[in-house]
Amino acid sequence: MSKPTLFTLFSPRLLDIYDVSNSIVVIIDVFRATSTIATALHNGALKIIPVDSVEKCIAIGNATPKSITAGERDGKIIEGLAHGNSPAEYPRSFIEGKTLVLTTTNGTKLLHMALKNGADEVITGSFPNLSAVCNHLIAQKKNVILGCSAWKDRINLEDTLFAGAVIHRIKEHFTIHCDSSLMAEQMYQLHKEDMKSFIRLTTHWHRLAAYGLEKDLEYCVTADAANVLPVYKSGALIAQA
Amino acid sequence: MSKPTLFTLFSPRLLDIYDVSNSIVVIIDVFRATSTIATALHNGALKIIPVDSVEKCIAIGNATPKSITAGERDGKIIEGLAHGNSPAEYPRSFIEGKTLVLTTTNGTKLLHMALKNGADEVITGSFPNLSAVCNHLIAQKKNVILGCSAWKDRINLEDTLFAGAVIHRIKEHFTIHCDSSLMAEQMYQLHKEDMKSFIRLTTHWHRLAAYGLEKDLEYCVTADAANVLPVYKSGALIAQA
């Protein structure tokens, strides 16, 4: 039996090139949406509703019992919302049993695009849930698209590195004819031992470190700190049992 | 005085993200359009007219004295055209003083997109004219966009490696806040000593090697084998004196 295929896309702009209809799409937004999603679910959040606008966030928050609205712009909590985008804001003592309505731009956009294009399944991944993602992809034996959310469609390194980390672990199980995947894995191999210093060279680090988020960003590249599998079902991400 | 900026785009799909209007855009299509363009001009071709369809190629060929029509699909000369896409087909004894009307898909598409978006100048680059490209970019002191032509919009490694080679040589002269550029340079640094073996891992190698083009592809990653600067002016690429 032939192995399933694996492709990596470096920007949402490239999604249309690939056939997602028979694939699991992994949404990757390392700084920080998919790191925060894994963390909140790992700490017992009931579910996470990703939304692409502040208005929707407030409306859904108002309509949902025990919900928390969250979102940032330029490192500050958006007016009208209650919390920010940092994984550190969602310990078990705070988030357990609650619904997090999370406003993000890049990750949510790609997630909705993948659903619209008919993805077979949508999950989210970042270093904190690296093993959960890898184990699921190996077990499912389906085609995989590793979708980097990028930043305003610009390719970024942190999402690429996570794609590379996944490929490094699961490549024997897939047929991979994809230069982006080859590049991602080589970048990961080159930097897996110096990840926390290397990410300081990325454009996104410079953008976010200006807001004092260095500890956050280091957490976001820490493998298996929140090892749960977020799966999108009926409008929300829930932890797969 | 602040340094000019440099960005790398890995696929034509990403061109709109960047402001090309005050930039020199370097069209990169290593396998093989921009390698063939450099070679033909280096060997004395009068000019090269890049076209995106066979029909245009034939029409312009018919209307142009001393012209050669060229283009391939699946490793064979396209019916109705006279020659192929291999740089080896264009020695001085054959091409000197002639106009090459060249049908390509990926490179020509990006070139026309860059012109349409108002690029300040469009030049072409590949390993055979690496030094000419680098020297020009340093001398001009303008913003630069290294444009990888990719393959049907899919990111490829050989174009990325050339972008990396350029960045490696000229980075001190530019302000670079671009993760694609960082990746490209690191991939080049990792493989500059084993280029001819590493390119055998790329998707495009597998596509073209099936047609017996290995020698061609090795030539296309040989630095400065045809060190000329192709500049687009009035509908054609000509060698800058």
Cis peptide preceding A32, ω within 30 of 0: yes
User: Which residues is B68 bridged to in the sheet?
Assistant: B100
**pLDDT (0 to 100) of residue A140:** 97
A and B: number of Cβ contacts within 8 A: 74
CATH fold of A6-239 reads putative 2-phosphosulfolactate phosphatase (3.90.1560)
Mean pLDDT calculated for residue range A215-221: 94
Q: Which residues in A lie closer than 8 A to residue B180 (C-beta atoms)? A: 154-155
**pLDDT (0 to 100) of residue A111:** 96
Q: Which residues in B lie closer than 8 A to residue A154 (C-beta atoms)? A: 14, 17, 178-180
Residues B166-222 pLDDT 10s: 999 999 999 999 999 999 999 999 999 999 999 999 998 888 888 888 899 999 999
Residues A105-151 pLDDT 10s: 899 999 999 999 999 999 999 999 999 999 999 999 999 999 999 99
More confident residue, B127 or B74: B127
Report yes or no: A26 and A124 within 8 Å, Cβ to Cβ: yes
**pLDDT (0 to 100) of residue B74:** 78
Edge-to-edge order in the sheet of strand B47-51: B6-9, B143-148, B23-28, B121-125, B230-233, B236-239, B47-51, B99-103, B67-70
**pLDDT (0 to 100) of residue B241:** 81
Q: Do B155 and A17 touch (CB under 8 A)?
A: no
Which residue from A160, A183, A204 is facing B160, i.e. has the nearest CB? A183
* Maximum Cα interatomic distance, chain B, rounded to a whole number of Å: 54
pLDDT at residue A1 tops 80: no
Q: Find which of A160, A183, A189 to mutate to test the B interface (most B CBs within 10 Å of its CB).
A: A183
Report yes or no: B26 and B137 within 8 Å, Cβ to Cβ: yes
Ranges of each domain in chain A: 6-239
What confidence category does residue A217 fall into, taking pLDDT thresholds of 50, 70 and 90?
A: very high
ipTM: 0.95
List all residues of chain B from 22 to 81 with a beta carbon under 8 Å from chain A: none
**pLDDT (0 to 100) of residue B213:** 86
Can you tell me the distance from the alpha carbon of B37 to that of B124, in angstroms, rounded to the nearest whole number? 8
What is the three-class DSSP state of B141? coil
Residues B121-148 pLDDT 10s: 999 999 999 999 999 999 999 999 999 9
